[in-house]
Amino acid sequence: MSNLSVKRNLQAFEKKYVKREIKDTEEIPMVQLDRNENNFGFSPKVPQAIAENISSSYVYTNVDGEPLRSKLAEFHKVSVENILIGNGSFELIGLIAQVFQNKGKKAIQGVPTFDWYRIATILNHGEMIDIPLENHHYPLEEIARNVTDDVEIIWLCNPNNPTGTFFTKKDLVEFLEKIPSSKLVVVDEAYIDFVPDEVLEDNLSLLEKYENLLFLRTFSKIYGLASLRVGYAIANPSIIHSLFQFKIPPNTNRLSVMAAAASLQDVEHYGIVKEKVASEKRFYEEELTKRGFYFIPSYTNFLLIDFGKKTDEIVRQFAKEGILLRGGSEFGYDHFIRVTIGKHQENKLFFEVLDKISLEE
């Protein structure tokens, strides 16, 4: 065994972030409803895009992430100077902290939320201020009240993971008006594509007024490219330039970039996935209501369900039946389980196992 040890400030997280992997068995193929993936799959244009470009894989990817960068700029009606392509949002979260988080200074977030904001902060010798959610919603007013001089980065997750709650453009504007322009405001919109069209607004238009604002987007969710690792940041050109200087030069691969570009153009598939997720979420809501379960209304492709008791054993029971779920104890919601909205047969299986477990109690 090595005598080397992880840095002291990371030791509390060392085991928590070992990724859970449970392999299929011959008897039970595992259904993954624990990672908020798009189980409906990627665009049919993706395989062709990969096939057409695989012969050029010996050449480094364009350092700007082209042609995806230009296609995203056109799609979002911004300049290419507003876009930075990353190897998934994970890389960009880490890069933001590396570039803008000074040693001994602070960041702030609502909790529970996506915990990589905290890890990125600690890895860069910063301190995270946690503000508890308010009725499962992101506590914007309380965060604004706690932005002190030594806070450098504000992390907002919208819709929030793991609760699935959402704040509006009006809420964001009211928040930004209270924040000094010297503070970087990061809005992680990994799940924004699942927000119903009648609620969704163009938050990117705020970039013209608020030069300290940065949005994160990903191809891992609605576009179904989780394993290809493509995310991007949209921000003021000066922020993008600062990040670009310190990113790994060839930080993406050619096949991922071309697959993402093809996905972006397949508006039909995007709409199909969005509608299927909405339909299957209604199925969950109806079936849970029939059984008397409380769940947090969600604007995402997952639901957080209250089981009324600690859920670690329930998660294990589901795993024995071939379904992987995310237990709430990992983020302080001990009585809850987070379940990804899957295909209809996967969702039906969830309720079959739920009823079986309930009968056994």
pLDDT-above-90 percentage for the chain: 86
Alpha carbon distance 81, 79 (integer Å):
5
pLDDT at residue 211 above 70?
yes
242 φ, ψ to 5°? -60, -45
**CATH T-level topology, domain 45-265:** Aspartate Aminotransferase; domain 2 (3.40.640)
- Residue 132: per-residue pLDDT: 98
- Residue 159: per-residue pLDDT: 98
Whether domain 8-36+268-355 has CATH 3.90.1150.10: the reply is yes
Digit-coded pLDDT (tens) for 113-142: 999 999 999 999 999 999 999 999 999 999
Digit-coded pLDDT (tens) for 256-291: 999 999 999 999 999 999 999 999 999 999 999 999
Alpha carbon distance 359, 317 (integer Å):
13
pLDDT at residue 18 above 50?
no
pLDDT at residue 10 above 80?
no
Please say whether the beta carbons of 190 and 217 come within 8 A: yes
What is the end-to-end Cα distance of the chain in Å, rounded?
44
Digit-coded pLDDT (tens) for 20-64: 555 555 556 789 999 999 999 999 999 999 999 999 888 888 899
**Among positive and negative, which fits the CA dihedral 72, 78, 80, 82?**
negative
- Residue 22: per-residue pLDDT: 58
Give the pLDDT band (50/70/90) at residue 5.
confident
SS (H, E, C) 33-101: CCCCCCCCCCCCCHHHHHHHHHHHCCCCCCCCCCCHHHHHHHHHCCCHHHEEEECHHHHHHHHHHHHHC
Q: Where are the domains of the chain?
A: 8-36+268-355, 45-265
**pTM above 0.85?**
yes
What would the two tokens of residue 185 be?
A: 């405001």
